[in-house]
Structures are given as C-alpha cells and as structure tokens.
C-alpha cells in the first residue's frame, strides 16, 4: 500500500512537471504572438502616420504654390515692363540717381 501511494505521488509530481512545462511553453507562445502582433500594429501605425504626413505636405505645397502664383505673375509682368523700357528712359533714371547721390554726398 505504501508503494502504491508512493507511485501515485511520483505520478502526480510527473504530471505536475508536465503541466508546468506546458504552461511555460504556452506563456512563451503567447508572449511571442503578442510581440509579433505589437510589431505589426506598430508598422501599421507608422505607415498610416507617414501617409498622413505625406498628405499634409502635399497640401502645404499646393497651398504655397497657389499663394505664390499671383506673386510670380506680378514679378513677370514687372520684368516685361522693365524689358520694354527705352534707353532714353534709362538715361533719365540714371541722371536722377546721379543727382541724388551728388546732393547727398557733395561733389562726387
């Protein structure tokens, strides 16, 4: 009878070790799966953030181009006007500038 009780205790210990080993393996599996899932979610969030960032950047560039368009057009118009100036008009402008320099600085 004592031998049967001892065998039952040994069998119970063996079963307990098996259960403990299984639990440890399940814990490792769960942890691994959680890490894989976390990595996947992290990549999804980063991809979504990059898409939002790209969209905001494109919107800002478009708004900047829209704001710059009239300024560029005005600059081109002014450039065309300067190109059409006659040499005599430039001579008058040069004389006016020289007069101002001479008046401000004396006999130069």
Mean pLDDT taken over the chain: 90
Return d(Cα 32, Cα 39) in angstroms, integer: 11
Burial 63-81 (b: 16+ CB within 10 A, else e): eeeeeeeeeeeeeeeeeee
Residue 17 pLDDT grade (very low, low, confident, very high; cuts 50, 70, 90) = very high
Helix (H) or strand (E) holding 53: helix 2-83
pLDDT digits (tens, 9 = 90+) for 50-72: 999 999 999 999 999 999 999 99
CB within 8 Å of 29: residues ≥ 6 apart: none
Q: Report pTM.
A: 0.54
**Domain count of the fold of the chain:** 1
Task: Give me the domain span that covers residue 19.
Answer: 2-105
């Amino acid at each position: 009878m004592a031998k049967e009780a001892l065998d039952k205790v040994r069998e119970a210990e063996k079963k307990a070790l098996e259960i403990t080993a299984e639990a440890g393996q399940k814990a490792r599996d769960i942890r691994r799966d959680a890490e894989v899932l976390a990595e996947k979610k992290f990549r999804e969030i980063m991809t979504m953030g990059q898409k939002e960032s790209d969209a905001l950047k494109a919107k800002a560039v478009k708004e900047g181009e829209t704001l710059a368009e009239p300024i560029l057009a005005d600059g081109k118009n002014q450039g065309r006007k300067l190109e059409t100036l006659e040499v005599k008009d430039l001579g008058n402008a040069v004389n006016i500038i020289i007069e101002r320099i001479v008046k401000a600085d004396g006999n130069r």
